[in-house]
């Protein structure tokens, strides 16, 4: 089952998952592919230590590979992507010189990184480049807004960690996807995690006109220790966004029995991309229930597809 460009087109698409190997890279590449089939450019951003590492062959081809690409790939923690002419991306000034896509600098990101200043660039031909994410959360939001305001790309794809969502969640048209790999050894646990994650993304947004009596705001993460410090007369707990909730499944269920949990920033959750191995779709779907099954955008979205 393939996803269509309408799912991502003209939106800020945040793709996250359970760490390395969860399928974020594959899904992000598939999202970019769908936009390219519409003849439109895409903005590709990587956040955190993981990113869009190019693996295997690509429909773009390995254009201009040579010493520059080898040097880029030697930079651990950086993301090497295949780009179409017209695509927008962010890299550091020293790695941009190694890009094979004839990058044209369109803006400079405030601040700097260990790899030098971050630059927003446009690919002037098909080729490859290393993505470098901002070191501060607020700069991610700045970059996305800059790309959208200047209309350098209508569609933005951000591959990154949950702890970088806060600065992007308030951007109009922002939406979240979650990827996970499921096999025979973890499929029961994976189903429980999906249910837990859905509870988190379903937390309601705080109302401005609500009565503040009995409401307690937690400025940092909501942990089991933070719950112990909640005043006894509290009825509603407010956190910045769902990614600030660090409670186990059982702890969250108990907290929801005792309090109403609300978020300041709520992001639209579009669904799960599930990559199955050694377990059938029917066996796994049985564990999900009707509501969660309706949120699975695809099983093995890129199975048999050369990206």
CATH of residue 140's domain is: 3.40.50
Residue 23 banded pLDDT, cuts 50, 70, 90: confident
pLDDT at site 25: 78
Residues 157, 62: one domain?
Answer: yes
| In the chain, % of residues over pLDDT 70 | 82
In a domain, 12, yes or no: yes
Q: Which of 5-19, 42-56, 166-180 ranks highest by mean pLDDT?
A: 5-19
pLDDT at site 66: 46
- Is-contact 130 80, C-beta < 8 A? yes
Position 60 pLDDT exceeds 70: no
Residues 141, 51: one domain?
Answer: yes
State the total domains in the chain.
2
- Per the prediction, the chain carries an average pLDDT of 83
Phi (first) and psi of residue 70, to 5 degrees? -60, -40
Residues 108, 145: one domain?
Answer: yes
Position 179 pLDDT exceeds 50: yes
Greater confidence (140 vs 44) lies with 44
In a domain, 195, yes or no: no
Position 63 pLDDT exceeds 70: no
Position 240 pLDDT exceeds 60: yes
Segment 222-249 mean pLDDT: 93
Residues of the domain holding 170: 5-186+267-299
Segment 248-274 mean pLDDT: 94
pLDDT at site 164: 67
Position 48 pLDDT exceeds 70: no
Helix axes 187-201, 249-258, angle to 10 degrees: 30
- In angstroms, the CA 56 to CA 62 distance is 10
Position 214 pLDDT exceeds 80: yes
Residues 152, 169: one domain?
Answer: yes
Position 305 pLDDT exceeds 80: no
| In the chain, % of residues over pLDDT 90 | 55
In a domain, 121, yes or no: yes
Greater confidence (157 vs 81) lies with 157
Beta bridge partners of 177: 15, 271
pLDDT at site 211: 63
- Specify the range with the lowest mean pLDDT, choosing from 82-86, 171-175, 226-230, 287-291: 171-175
- Specify the range with the lowest mean pLDDT, choosing from 17-21, 76-80, 191-195: 76-80
Residue 51 banded pLDDT, cuts 50, 70, 90: very low
Residues 128, 213: one domain?
Answer: no
In a domain, 306, yes or no: no
Segment 245-270 mean pLDDT: 94
Residues 113, 208: one domain?
Answer: no
Residues 226, 137: one domain?
Answer: no
Greater confidence (53 vs 125) lies with 125
Residues 177, 71: one domain?
Answer: yes
Position 216 pLDDT exceeds 60: yes
pLDDT tens-digit readout, 102-129: 999 999 998 777 778 899 999 999 999 9
In a domain, 196, yes or no: no
Segment 73-81 mean pLDDT: 58
For the entire predicted model, the pTM comes to 0.85
Residues 182, 211: one domain?
Answer: no
pLDDT at site 300: 77
């Amino acid at each position: 089952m393939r996803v269509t460009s309408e799912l991502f087109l003209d939106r800020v698409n945040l793709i996250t998952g359970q760490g390395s190997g969860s399928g974020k890279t594959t899904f992000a590449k598939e999202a970019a592919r769908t936009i390219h089939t519409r003849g439109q450019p895409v903005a590709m951003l990587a956040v955190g230590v993981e990113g869009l590492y190019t693996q295997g062959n690509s429909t773009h081809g390995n254009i201009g590979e040579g010493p520059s690409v080898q040097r880029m790939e030697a930079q651990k923690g950086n993301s090497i992507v295949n780009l179409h002419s017209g695509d927008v991306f962010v890299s550091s000034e020293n790695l941009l010189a190694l890009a094979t896509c004839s990058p044209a600098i369109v803006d400079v990101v405030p601040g700097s990184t260990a790899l030098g200043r971050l630059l927003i660039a446009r690919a002037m031909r098909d080729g490859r480049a290393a993505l470098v994410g901002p070191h501060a959360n607020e700069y991610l939001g700045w970059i996305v807004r800059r790309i959208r305001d200047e209309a350098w790309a209508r569609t933005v794809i951000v591959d990154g960690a949950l702890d970088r969502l806060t600065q992007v969640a308030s951007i109009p048209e922002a939406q979240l996807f979650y990827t996970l790999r499921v096999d025979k050894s973890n499929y029961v646990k994976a189903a429980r995690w999906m249910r837990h994650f859905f509870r988190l993304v379903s937390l309601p947004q705080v109302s401005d006109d609500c009565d503040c009596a009995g409401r307690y705001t937690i400025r940092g993460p909501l942990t089991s220790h933070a719950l112990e410090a909640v005043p006894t007369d509290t009825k509603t707990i407010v956190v910045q966004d769902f990614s600030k909730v660090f409670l186990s499944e059982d702890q969250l269920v108990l907290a929801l029995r005792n309090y109403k949990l609300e978020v300041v920033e709520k992001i639209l959750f579009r669904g799960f991309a599930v990559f199955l191995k050694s377990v059938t779709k029917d066996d796994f779907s049985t564990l999900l229930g009707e509501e969660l099954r309706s949120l699975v955008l695809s099983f093995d979205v890129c199975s048999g597809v050369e990206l």
